[in-house]
Structure 1
Amino acid sequence: MSTDFKKLLPETAAQFINNTWVASKNTDDIKNPATGETIAEVAAGTTADTDNAIAAAKAAQIKWAATPQPQRANYLYAFAQQIEKHKNALATLLTTEQGKPLAESEGEVDTAILMLRYYAGLGWKRTGHVLASNYPNHQAITKEAPLGVVAAIIPWNFPLAIFTRKTAPALVAGNTIIVKPSENTPLCSLALATLSKAAGIPDGVINVICGEGSKVGDALVKHPDVQLVTMTGSTRAGKIIAKNAAEKVIPVSLELGGKAPFIVLADADIEKAAQDAIDARMANCGQVCICNERTYVQREAYEPFMRALKKAAEAIVVGDPLAKKTTMGPKVSPAEKEHVEELLAKTQQEGGKIFWQGSIPSDEKFKGGNWVAPTIVTDLPATATILKEEAFGPILPVVVFDTIDEVVGLANDCEYGLSSYLYTRDLIAAMQISDALEYGEVYINRYGPEEINGFHAGWKLSGIGGDDGEHGYQIYVKQKTVYLNYQS
């Protein structure tokens, strides 16, 4: 398979509207986060672009909704086949644009395919119920109906997987969609737009508008013809979206920030827990919403755990993300790099100590990249900023605890509630602690990722709504009840 991703992108900066590339006068440069070099120019969207995309989606939606659901599912299968055909090119593009190691990018392409295939499988699902009526010769029937035009605002950390995570359920349910990718990683969305057209998906069903969130994203949310906003991103942006959507009284699905606790009890498999703690923190350079943001280790296990943790950390290879041996790449942007560096400096000012720190590439060609060394910090005060604010980078804070009640209190003392981790061999403790944790997901003796037939949803400031599985599908439909009298 070819790794030439340029064939999947428009020849000039353009938006994807109504299955056509629409040229744009305004452009933005997209840079390789490993080198700082410009790799492409993309369109910088305007309100007019947004209006055109919504008009195309609205015009296509009635016919798309009238297409039998199994036929809509077949388009998703065809889309999945196109992605699989170009897997190597998409993985290379993702690594070049976002910075994650190639092995992780290949896994993300597989996830994007899985999303499409799973939701295509719902094309033959039950779409309503027959209810018992209180009257003779009467029936009550509930039916699913599409919402209409969906706006999907997706982040830069998983731009391929989250594109299909939003589009697949939206389309199989009978909606049309406008995808607004992050300004940092729009190329993956444009490449997928190319492949959606190659799959034969009709005009106007999938549209992609690139540009600033404050312009394009805001225009999408406020437009009267958009009937659902599904967004994965920051809590700050989610609050703005929720407020604007409330003015129209439309539903939102928001998967926002996380601050996952990683709890290790004394009876845990220490070697596995330590390796998973590293993998769960350093994957994608720490840029994962379910990342291990703070590790809590029971005192009796602390010393052996730290030895195992250091051993696991020393195996991290920071370098060229396109090289097979690399296990960690750069941060996605200079702003993200600066955020992590400032947080580490503040952690040290607040009393935290660096237990271990890796290195970054010294090669001249990576001098302009957004490199941050993986770091483990200890001796943190309970009030340390890094234990409260989302780090979203490769800094792993480790805290000692004594009792289960203590660690549950520490884990729940947080405004986020997305994912959490627990390592123990004690089944009773596992179930009691999982019940007590105020998080939408609890992983016991395993690191993620979340599975497609589950429900990826956060509590508290981590969002409302969610993605994946049957529950994720229900976000894209509304219910209609039909009362039928067939009395002669």
Structure 2
Amino acid sequence: MSTMAKLEGFRNEPFTDFRQEPARQAMEEAIARVKSEELRREIPLRIGGRDIFTDTKIHSINPGNLDETIGWVSKADRDLAEQAMQAALEAFESWKKVPPRERAQYLLKAAALMTERKHEFSALMVLEAGKNYAEADADTAEAIDFLNFYAREMIRLSEINETMPLTPVPGEQNRLTYIPLGVGVIIPPWNFPLAICVGMTSAAIVSGNTVLLKPASNTPVIAYKFAALMEEVGLPAGVLNFIPGSGGEVGDYLTTHPQTRFISFTGSKEVGLRISKLAAEPAPGQIWIKRLVAEMGGKDGIVVDETADLDAAAQAIVASAFGYQGQKCSAGSRALIVESVYDEVVEKVVRLTKQLEIGLPEENKAVGPVIDEASFRKILDYIEIGKQEGQLLAGGRQAEGNGYYIEPTVFAGVDGKARIMQEEIFGPVLAIGQAKDWREAIAMYNDTEFGLTGAFFSREEDRISEALETMHCGNLYINRKCTGALVGAHPFGGFNLSGTDSKAGGYDYLLLFTQAKLTSRKL
């Protein structure tokens, strides 16, 4: 079978239907198994194939049950970060010479094992990240997709001269090859603690680079589980170094390190801009411009005109706003509705929101906790701001439970310039605004410093065509929710201050972790 045929055969990992009792029971058993076998352990750093335990620990807890410890994770400092850098530099000298097809096999093996243990990975996310069954399952499925997709894409890139030959020149033999960059720093977020961590890391590794993985401090245990899986499939020591630590200490040190070749970051706008600034200043001894791949969040919205299927629009608004408690960079935290159907859509949204059940993720409630106390306090502060900027129609308070629970909150009548319309809250808060017509609604949608995802609901083809051209975002969806990008189908990345528009899960993503070398030989 040709390489292209193999690529065309890529299929996304199917989601589990937890409405079926066997599937639900399997997840419950996986949660019980993880609780009895994997929690409350001391987890080491992993540098150059060696376990290193430190006195300083990250205490990972269940945000839905604050009495439950997930694990104590050793914490790196600058000296250990430097050890990890030296281990990665040493490993790079041999790893960059490993043929791309062989590098891809590590990812394919990891994908196969993760598929076999899918519920185990998902169960750990239910406990550490506060995801319900469906959200955790989708996260694991996306991680599997990234492994499979990037493995096949690396093979395609390595054979690109066979599939897309250069323009021939008589008397010359010309070849374009994609070679690795060097050592990179991987800084993934906590909200997709497996999928994005796996995608960022595997893309860099399969491209021939070695990496320093600094996971989010809220979800280091699931990141370690992935790092251990890569070791299990035989990834050579030093290719992936696991170094949890402080962003201000370890993150800044590695970002400014002269041997760091690239930084791959997903997180807040503020941290992303800080990394961009630090990385732009060359350090003594640095001989390259550091490459930054960054996804920095959004203030995404859904536009609804008067011709739309209003029930479908309301369902999409609620799913986009409150899926995983609104803790997604793609979350639809704004809804912009034309005035002739405004009241009807608002009524439907409020009714659906009030039907959402809040509680423990391990009991598979629709709405679980937000990730930590800092987020909890920040979101409640924004809700107080919202009470001054709009009409509170649902939620607005802390919810019951031994965790960071907040009611799904809906504000209507919100001005486009209001803070809850402009600032990323990253929580279960929806702001609804009214527009005189669909063009004004699109203008309100575009009035933001971000540009990640958006959705447009209409039955009019002329309007859809104009929306496709004028709504300014990296991922635009028509008549569906604005969350839920699939690897290979919806390459993901945004405009403006949403990041570098690096399309994760797309056919050009690996190019960001390589450099193209042209060789020309006179015959």
Q: Which interval holds the TM-score relative to the shorter structure? A: over 0.9
**Quick one: which amino acid aligns to residue 306 of structure 1?**
V
Partner residue in 2 for 1:441:
475
Partner residue in 2 for 1:342:
381
Deviates more, 1:169-178 or 1:9-18: 9-18
SS of equivalent to 2:42: coil
Partner residue in 1 for 2:142:
111
8 Å contact kept, 2:149–2:505:
no
SS of equivalent to 2:363: coil
Equivalent residues in 2 for 1:417-428 (5 A)?
Answer: 417-428=451-462
- Whole-angstrom CA distance in 2 between matches of 1:397 and 1:461: 20
The Cα offsets for residues 118-151 of structure 1, whole Å up to 9 and x where unpaired, read as 11112421434443355x3113322111111121
**Quick one: which amino acid aligns to residue 335 of structure 1?**
A
- Of residues 50, 70, 94, the one that matches 1:20 is 50
Q: TM-score, normalised by structure 2?
A: 0.88
Equivalent residues in 2 for 1:59-98 (5 A)?
Answer: 59-98=90-129
The Cα offsets for residues 243-293 of structure 1, whole Å up to 9 and x where unpaired, read as 121123211011002001210011111111100100000011100000001
Deviation at 1:62, TM superposition (A): 2.3
SS of equivalent to 1:174: coil
Partner residue in 1 for 2:493:
457
- Of residues 439, 450, 453, the one that matches 1:405 is 439
Aligned residues: 479
Q: TM-score, normalised by structure 1?
A: 0.94
SS of equivalent to 1:338: helix
SS of equivalent to 1:348: helix
**Quick one: which amino acid aligns to residue 514 of structure 2?**
V
The Cα offsets for residues 40-59 of structure 1, whole Å up to 9 and x where unpaired, read as 21112101111111211221
8 Å contact kept, 1:152–1:180:
yes
SS of equivalent to 1:166: helix
Partner residue in 2 for 1:478:
515
Partner residue in 1 for 2:21:
none
CA distance 1:10–1:331, change in 2 (3 Å): closer
- Whole-angstrom CA distance in 2 between matches of 1:381 and 1:290: 21
- Whole-angstrom CA distance in 2 between matches of 1:190 and 1:476: 23
- Whole-angstrom CA distance in 1 between matches of 2:72 and 2:41: 10
Partner residue in 2 for 1:377:
411
**Quick one: which amino acid aligns to residue 499 of structure 2?**
G
SS of equivalent to 1:370: coil
Partner residue in 1 for 2:13:
none
Partner residue in 1 for 2:352:
312
- Whole-angstrom CA distance in 2 between matches of 1:465 and 1:381: 28
Deviation at 1:411, TM superposition (A): 1.2
Equivalent residues in 2 for 1:356-375 (5 A)?
Answer: 356-357=394-395, 362=400, 366-367=401-402, 369-375=403-409
Query: Given the alignment of the two structures, is residue 52 of structure 1 paired with residue 83 of structure 2, yes or no?
Result: yes
Partner residue in 2 for 1:331:
370
**Quick one: which amino acid aligns to residue 317 of structure 2?**
A
Deviation at 1:407, TM superposition (A): 1.5
Deviation at 1:359, TM superposition (A): 7.5
CA distance 1:432–1:465, change in 2 (3 Å): closer
- Of residues 199, 206, 215, the one that matches 2:249 is 215
Query: Given the alignment of the two structures, is residue 148 of structure 1 paired with residue 187 of structure 2, yes or no?
Result: no
Query: Given the alignment of the two structures, is residue 246 of structure 1 paired with residue 284 of structure 2, yes or no?
Result: no
Gaps of 5+ in 2: 1-25, 283-288
Deviation at 1:459, TM superposition (A): 1.0
- Whole-angstrom CA distance in 2 between matches of 1:223 and 1:385: 37
Gaps of 5+ in 1: none
8 Å contact kept, 1:8–1:191:
no
**Quick one: which amino acid aligns to residue 460 of structure 1?**
N
Deviation at 1:101, TM superposition (A): 1.1
**Quick one: which amino acid aligns to residue 54 of structure 2?**
S
RMSD: 1.8
